Chains A and B, each alone.
Chain A
């Protein structure tokens, strides 16, 4: 108990020190992403996006009358909650960051939010955590995300299927947080819209044989099979077995399945299938790619969202006139949403100037940011269909 008290006091003191630094000319933003682990191939481009925004603001010299901004990287590992928590703890207590851009995976994001951000009153904006659970997590208004919740994807899926006139589907999902969360979100949205989910069956990734799963799915029946899995894992195994046994001819694929690999694997066999994955036709995406140029692959998933997350933190600071998390947390929604002048990537200096003059801005950014509910992206999806063995974009919603 004594130790706990001591630790609490120490944390409180350190947090106090962090606040005392709040008005200094030096602004620090923690960038906590899974530089090692399952998302390591995406983390570099995500960090690059955030650092591009930081560089842009810092070089403009417009933020809080000429503050310089630095980004400090830390490793969330994506899967190890304890390691992520201690990395975030270090960012807040030792590096004294003003706010955190991150984390990436839903599990570690939740851990950092409840263990570090809440305790220290630090704002965090995640570019890629999509678990519906985070919408209702206790956050004292400190947590935002520029990625949509999978609950939103469930609704979009429902809309797509309903417009196609599909009233009953069989559903299979990969047995992890992503698959289960998405499957549950979809099922509740679909049933609310009057559809029937005949069966919701999990499948394990990387298994030897999927005929048992497909047998059950086929027996339950349905007009279409919804595969909430991964294209390079069990998802493809399920689709293969379903096609071969003639159980289902058409499928619906959420984001984990949409990739070139899917077309390569199945070609014309999945003609008539539908799907959706995050994407936007907003001019911001194009401008972001021009801004980044050849520095790294700006079309990599969640890179644009990372740029937007970092930009939102700094714009909110400007709007609040302070780099304190406690002050800027109330301004994030204001700068992200209408009304105001639309701001695209590369226009952060202009945005800072407008905010200084007291003009409202509506940050659109690289991923067409629109924060809804408890501060999460409304989400932009592109609806795709498969015709003649090729993926076609139908529209954006």
Chain B
């Protein structure tokens, strides 16, 4: 029984939140890695693309809610998601036509494009705040829990509760579906293959008759979908605040780089590595240990490797160690 309690406590505070957070980071990192692989620059505007996409979803969700449309036990935001993706796609393709295309045709160095994306980031950032405001917005509705801590305790008779939020469940399931579609698209469809060809060798791809503008267009549309889904899932699970999305950029880039920039599988692995390193290394194992160990050996201290203040230091240490020993990331990506 005690052993079960230990497992449940660990699952409740490490496994479940870590998995959900990892899925959110993985979706964000996928977008970053696609742009890096195909358009060949680090898109600093990605965090704010997520914010702007989520903003569209929120506005549409509010419209649905006031019109009385709901999605049963699931959040209404899921219904609004496709519309949000379309709007975000329009914004991204528009940005590409107005800004990036100019630099791409001049074949500027990647670092110039990075700086350009920095400018785009500030504009998107301002736009989001201008339209929806800098404050917290809550738009989650429907059932809050798949299973709440209290119900779990009553059902199992254990001392420890296990809470799984609907949003956490949706996050993981949606992430799996989105990733499956993405890989099917990249590996099986003609457009996906042409995108990979363009990513592998631009000149060869051009010679074999691939239209680069089409590849760019599809890339932005996929990125729009990934960013909006990641942003909305994150917003549903926690809350929407433009500044937080801007801050998400750091862990997302860390995830993409750890996994190997330009490698979609790496982005997913990186997302989970970063999320779990943040949650696990700073976890205080006192509770778990108290259950597992005999009473005489029960710990007085917190059994915490390091204080939670250092959780960002942990993920960035991992980033540095990976880059030192495997400069292309855990799974082979392009070197930075």
Chain A interface residues (CB < 8 Å from chain B): 175, 199, 201-204, 206-209, 211-216, 218-221, 232, 236-237, 240-241, 244-247, 265
**Could you tell me if A220 and B283 are in contact, using CB atoms closer than 8 angstroms?**
no
**Could you tell me if B239 and A211 are in contact, using CB atoms closer than 8 angstroms?**
no
Q: List 6 A-B contacts (CB under 8 A).
A: A175-B309, A204-B309, A211-B21, A216-B308, A219-B304, A240-B238
Contacts of B279 in A (CB 8 A): 209, 211-212, 215
Q: Shortest Cβ distance from A170 into chain B, in angstroms?
A: 10
Query: B213 near A: Cβ within 8 Å?
Result: no
Picked from B17, B148, B302, the residue with its CB within 8 Å of the CB of A220 is B302
**Could you tell me if A232 and B135 are in contact, using CB atoms closer than 8 angstroms?**
yes
Contacts of B48 in A (CB 8 A): none
Smallest CB gap from B307: residue in A = A201
Contacts of A237 in B (CB 8 A): 238-239
- Chain B residues within 8 Å of chain A by Cβ, number: 44
Q: Shortest Cβ distance from A171 into chain B, in angstroms?
A: 13
CA of A339 to CA of B240, assembled, Å:
54
CA of A212 to CA of B149, assembled, Å:
18
**Could you tell me if B244 and A207 are in contact, using CB atoms closer than 8 angstroms?**
yes
**Could you tell me if A211 and B163 are in contact, using CB atoms closer than 8 angstroms?**
no
Contacts of B288 in A (CB 8 A): 219
Chain B interface residues (CB < 8 Å from chain A): 9, 12-14, 16-18, 21, 135-136, 138, 144-145, 148-150, 161, 163, 165, 234, 238-239, 241, 243-244, 247-248, 251, 275, 278-279, 282-288, 302, 304, 307-309, 311
Contacts of B21 in A (CB 8 A): 208-209, 211
Smallest CB gap from A214: residue in B = B13
CA of A202 to CA of B283, assembled, Å:
14
Q: Shortest Cβ distance from B139 into chain A, in angstroms?
A: 13
Q: If A206-B241, A232-B135 touch, does A215 touch B283 (CB 8 Å cutoff)?
A: yes
Picked from A209, A214, A221, A236, the residue with its CB within 8 Å of the CB of B287 is A221
Q: Shortest Cβ distance from B67 into chain A, in angstroms?
A: 23
**Could you tell me if B286 and A206 are in contact, using CB atoms closer than 8 angstroms?**
no
CA of A35 to CA of B243, assembled, Å:
24
Contacts of A199 in B (CB 8 A): 284, 302
Picked from B17, B148, B149, B239, the residue with its CB within 8 Å of the CB of A215 is B17
Which applies to chain B's interface (DSSP): helix, strand, loop or mixed?
helix
Contacts of A175 in B (CB 8 A): 309
**Could you tell me if A218 and B287 are in contact, using CB atoms closer than 8 angstroms?**
yes
Q: If A206-B241, A207-B244 touch, does A245 touch B17 (CB 8 Å cutoff)?
A: yes
CA of A202 to CA of B332, assembled, Å:
37
**Could you tell me if A245 and B163 are in contact, using CB atoms closer than 8 angstroms?**
yes
Contacts of A232 in B (CB 8 A): 135-136
**Could you tell me if A206 and B247 are in contact, using CB atoms closer than 8 angstroms?**
yes
CA of A241 to CA of B287, assembled, Å:
18
Contacts of A212 in B (CB 8 A): 278-279, 282-283, 308, 311
CA of A216 to CA of B302, assembled, Å:
8
**Could you tell me if B247 and A246 are in contact, using CB atoms closer than 8 angstroms?**
no
Picked from B9, B18, B285, the residue with its CB within 8 Å of the CB of A211 is B18
The 6 closest A-B pairs by CB, nearest first: A246-B149, A211-B17, A215-B13, A219-B284, A246-B161, A219-B287
Contacts of B145 in A (CB 8 A): 244
Contacts of B16 in A (CB 8 A): 245
Q: If A208-B238, A209-B21, A212-B278 touch, does A203 touch B308 (CB 8 Å cutoff)?
A: yes
Contacts of B239 in A (CB 8 A): 236-237, 240
Contacts of A221 in B (CB 8 A): 286-287
Q: Shortest Cβ distance from B204 into chain A, in angstroms?
A: 40
**Could you tell me if B148 and A209 are in contact, using CB atoms closer than 8 angstroms?**
no
CA of A213 to CA of B302, assembled, Å:
13
**Could you tell me if A246 and B287 are in contact, using CB atoms closer than 8 angstroms?**
no
Q: Shortest Cβ distance from B335 into chain A, in angstroms?
A: 27
**Could you tell me if A245 and B238 are in contact, using CB atoms closer than 8 angstroms?**
no
